[in-house]
Amino acid sequence: MSIINHSALPKARLSKVVPPKVGVGLRHPHYEPALSRAADIDFVEIHTENFIMDGGANLALLERARDLYDISFHCTALGLGSAVGVSTKALTKLAELVERFDPLLVSDHLCFCWVDLDGRRVHAGDLLPVQRTRESLGVLASNIDRVQQAIGRPLLVENVTAYVNEPQQDFSETEFLCRLVERTGCSLLVDINNLLVNAHNMDCQSPADYAMSWLEQIPPEAVGEIHLAGYTPVLRGEIAVDDHAAPVSELGWHIYEYALGRLGDVPTLVEWDNALPSWAELQAEAMRARRVGNAIVGAGE
């Protein structure tokens, strides 16, 4: 049972994003070109864990970023699916950051990070896949409620890649996500690259069919953001890793077109975290997303 008053959450914050809003992940090597003058992008996404220090240059840089762009907060370490709960300290820090910078969007992942190991609370340092059971659903709902109460706004929850297949699942991934939305009032961040990586790792005959079928099972009104990224190609039989080290693949763009056609006005972010391209190349990826958005959803309507 959700404890949050969903009607009191500022839903308008999400609907403020009108089409076609396109953003990019802001990473350290791009600080200088990105922050010296405003680029033709609508928002930048930062990983909040890089900005939860007490002071210093990074927070000043974030102030500068906020002056130039809307900001999206993407968390990677809350561990929403952790049965031992979400770190109070991390949550307090996030709430302070949200209060100070008033981001456009706040998101984290459908994963667990926190466990007790050998008598100590440990952060596993990765986005570990949750079991899609009723018990797990309850844990996620409780933790998401807690986060939303702390930050006073709805959270976006992102589908992740899974490199280990858990045999005992009560729900499909899409059904699980839909139930989570119903129980918590959260929205979904659909990562198209993660769908394609999972499709490869599940040895799907047609990753495109898998991704499109997945998207068809998600109610459009539940989706608040789309992530686009690329991954390093691997051979069949090898595990693909969601390394964000490549441009968006042509298949990724194809699925994005399909997603926008189905989901409509959804802000879209291009993620690139490793083997970073130049700032200009990254902007070019964002511009392609904008062109697709204009073509599918309609420019300036």
Residues forming contacts to other proteins in the complex (CB under 8 A) are 49-50, 52-58, 60, 77-79, 82-84, 87, 89-90, 112-117, 120-126, 128, 131, 133, 135-136, 139, 162-168, 201, 203, 234-235, 237-239, 241
Q: What is the DSSP string of 120-147?
A: EEEEEEEEEEPP-SHHHHHHHHHHHHHH
DSSP state of 203: T
Closest approach of other proteins to the CB of residue 126, in Å: 5
Return the number of the residue (133 or 174) whose C-beta is nearest other proteins: 133
Nearby residues of 212 by Cβ (< 8 Å), 6 or more positions away: 255, 258
Nearby residues of 188 by Cβ (< 8 Å), 6 or more positions away: 156, 157, 158, 159, 177, 181, 218, 222, 223, 224
Closest approach of other proteins to the CB of residue 122, in Å: 5
Closest approach of other proteins to the CB of residue 136, in Å: 6
Nearest CA-CA partner of 242 in 227, 254, 260: 227
Return the number of the residue (34 or 260) whose C-beta is nearest other proteins: 34
Closest approach of other proteins to the CB of residue 266, in Å: 28
Return the number of the residue (239 or 299) whose C-beta is nearest other proteins: 239
Residue 36, by phi and psi: left (phi above 0), alpha (psi -120 to 50) or beta?
alpha
Return the number of the residue (78 or 269) whose C-beta is nearest other proteins: 78
Closest approach of other proteins to the CB of residue 246, in Å: 15
Return the number of the residue (76 or 283) whose C-beta is nearest other proteins: 76
Return the number of the residue (35 or 266) whose C-beta is nearest other proteins: 35
SS3 24: strand
Closest approach of other proteins to the CB of residue 243, in Å: 9
Pairing between strand 223-228 and 187-191?
A: parallel
CB 257 within 8 A of CB 215: no
Nearest CA-CA partner of 226 in 99, 43, 27, 34: 43
